[in-house]
Amino acid sequence: MKALCVFPQQGGWRSAISMLVLGMLAALALPPLHVIFIVPLALGLFYRAVSEAPSHRWAALWGFLFGMGYHTAGLYWLTNAILTRVHEFWWVVPFAAPGVALLIAPLLMVPAVLCRLVPEGWPRVMLFAGTWTLADMARVFYFSGFPWNPLGSALELSGGLGNWLIQPASLIGVDGLTLMLVLASLALWQGGRAIMAVGACAFIWCGWGAWRASHDAVLARHVNPTVVIVQGNVPETEVLERDSALAQFRAYLKLTEEGVRQARQLVPGRPAVVVWPESAFPGLLDEDEGARQAIAASASGSPVLLGSDRRADGPDRWYNSLMALAPDGHIEATYDKSRLVPFGEYDPWIVPFHLLPAEVVPGPGLMTWSLPQIGRVGPMVCYEIVFSGGVVAPGKRPDWLLTISNDAWYGNSAGPRQHLATGRMRAVEEGLPVVFANNRGVSAIYDARGREVGRTGWGQEQVLVRPLPGPEGPTLFALLGRSIPCCLSLLLVGLSIGLRRTGCRRRRLFRSRSR
């Protein structure tokens, strides 16, 4: 590990830039690039730098700068959202990604400082990995929460290998994957035996994941509906301006007719449900009887799940809602988004002025619908799928999960792919199929083990028609949630402290005997 000590102990601007660059390099491991081999190198150099720092203050600074690089690079695509309204918010462009990173980067100061409290070697490695994971999990408490891009999502490679690597999330969740990835990355620098141990664990990990990804659980027969995802491919500028709202609406109606026809040909006799994404309907659906009847007619007897704004009490106050439209055109159920996007849907308390022209009001929380032809579904809107262990209403387990989104804000960037990856991870964690419907893409369907059933491309007007696989029984993570990675992290912290005390006793005993 000492061979990695390439940073001067007295700091300086070169070391500061190096920490920023290391954080940016680590972000290359995130979706959609998945350059996983960079993680041991970046984390190893970062760990060595904080270990060799001349003081706790320098170590804290290195942790902050590494976090700034990691989150700024991982969230670069936030700038695209500002560019859609650049004439109003041009002054925010340089601060979009760095501004968000500035809020969450201080969390990486925690492992950078605390790991120095125990001796070099395994105690320090375990304390670093445990506190990194606990600090990362704490992001759910920032504003309405911002747990985007946990390092464990680097394992979500596309295809079969990715399916193998993410199966342990059914036991320990994505935060557990983060813990294991950090621990393994640092263990690779602890000598030959540690490398062999990591290799053996990786072999067992992939072997079990391959077995689980290639076999289905034996469950009671359950039939979910055929899902018709309608992707209208409406640019965000047109969504905002509404100049072509009628043309957009007609395009969605036409795609719905085509999708329902395909569904009935694909699986005759099986119920079909149509899903429109967030922002697909350019109005207030609960106040527009004519639009509801037109949508019902285009679906030809199939229910439609779609997003629409809904008035709340007071001027310029709205709900961002997902509604279930019955075959006769009446609204059977409404879900109001409860986890709001800071700076996007509400102004956090740190903003001393009103940045947003209107306020989105949070709904009461997660729920499970049980509706004819649809079954038991857990509805969510956009951002809410990001929250590991927080996508199922307590005591009301659904048969499938649905999230609608409008990632057109972020263009053809890493943002929509990272968002989609969270849906895949939730499928594995909960043992439930996930339907992810997006306005411009990428839309996809995953089965209860995170295997892709079908997807659309980004920026394409199309429909995706697939029979929805059934659910599995509750996974260990579905039963115990984030308490599992939390307890594993605390266990590592406790072991590191225990090893430190054992080492101190041995040193005292050795000194007493030498006298």
Q: Residue 317: what pLDDT?
A: 83
Nearest CA-CA partner of 121 in 189, 182, 35, 216: 189
Can you read off the two tokens belonging to residue 143?
């504003």
Q: CB neighbours of 40 closer than 8 A, spacing ≥ 6?
A: 184, 185, 186, 188, 189
Q: Is 244 exposed, middle or buried (0-12, 13-18, 19+ CB in 10 A)?
A: middle
Q: Residue 355: what pLDDT?
A: 62
Q: CB neighbours of 228 closer than 8 A, spacing ≥ 6?
A: 256, 259, 260, 262, 263, 272, 273, 274, 275, 302, 463, 464, 465
**Spatial separation of the C-alpha atoms in residues 45 and 39, rounded to whole Å:** 10
Q: Residue 503: what pLDDT?
A: 56
Maximum CA pair distance of the chain?
94
Can you read off the two tokens belonging to residue 409?
């804000």
Give the three-state DSSP class for 82.
helix
**Spatial separation of the C-alpha atoms in residues 15 and 21, rounded to whole Å:** 10
Domains observed in the chain: 7-215+484-514 (no CATH), 226-478 (3.60.110.10)
Give the Cα-Cα-Cα angle 126, 127, 129 (nearest 5 degrees): 65
What residues are paired with 312 via a beta bridge? Answer: none
Element (H, E) at 308: strand 304-311
Q: What is the pLDDT of residues 31-83, one digit of tens each?
A: 999 999 999 999 999 999 999 999 999 999 999 999 999 999 999 999 888 77
Nearest CA-CA partner of 339 in 283, 392, 384: 384
Q: What is the pLDDT of residues 169-209, one digit of tens each?
A: 999 999 999 999 999 999 999 999 999 999 999 999 999 99
The residue type of 322 is: L
- Find where tokens 């690089």 sit: 69
Q: Residue 496: what pLDDT?
A: 94
Please say whether the beta carbons of 435 and 445 come within 8 A: yes
Q: Residue 509: what pLDDT?
A: 47
Q: Residue 219: what pLDDT?
A: 54
The residue type of 487 is: C
Give the three-state DSSP class for 232.
coil
**Spatial separation of the C-alpha atoms in residues 276 and 239, rounded to whole Å:** 14
Q: Is 65 exposed, middle or buried (0-12, 13-18, 19+ CB in 10 A)?
A: buried
Query: pLDDT per position in the chain (515 positions), as tens?
Result: 544 455 544 567 888 999 999 999 999 999 999 999 999 999 999 999 999 999 999 999 999 999 999 999 999 999 888 777 666 666 677 778 998 899 999 999 999 999 999 999 999 999 999 999 999 999 998 766 889 999 999 999 999 999 999 999 999 999 999 999 999 999 999 999 999 999 999 999 999 999 999 988 655 456 799 999 999 998 887 877 777 889 999 999 999 999 999 999 999 989 999 999 998 998 999 999 999 999 999 999 999 999 999 998 877 788 999 999 999 999 999 999 999 887 777 766 666 555 665 678 899 999 999 999 999 999 999 989 999 999 999 999 999 999 999 999 899 999 999 999 999 999 999 999 999 999 998 999 999 999 999 999 999 999 999 999 999 999 999 999 999 999 999 999 999 998 876 655 555 544 555 55
Q: Is 159 exposed, middle or buried (0-12, 13-18, 19+ CB in 10 A)?
A: exposed
Neighbours of 93 (CB within 10 A): 12
Nearest CA-CA partner of 152 in 26, 24, 66, 341: 26
Q: Residue 220: what pLDDT?
A: 47
Omega cis (within 30) before 32: yes
- pTM value is 0.93
**Spatial separation of the C-alpha atoms in residues 452 and 163, rounded to whole Å:** 9
**Spatial separation of the C-alpha atoms in residues 389 and 404, rounded to whole Å:** 18
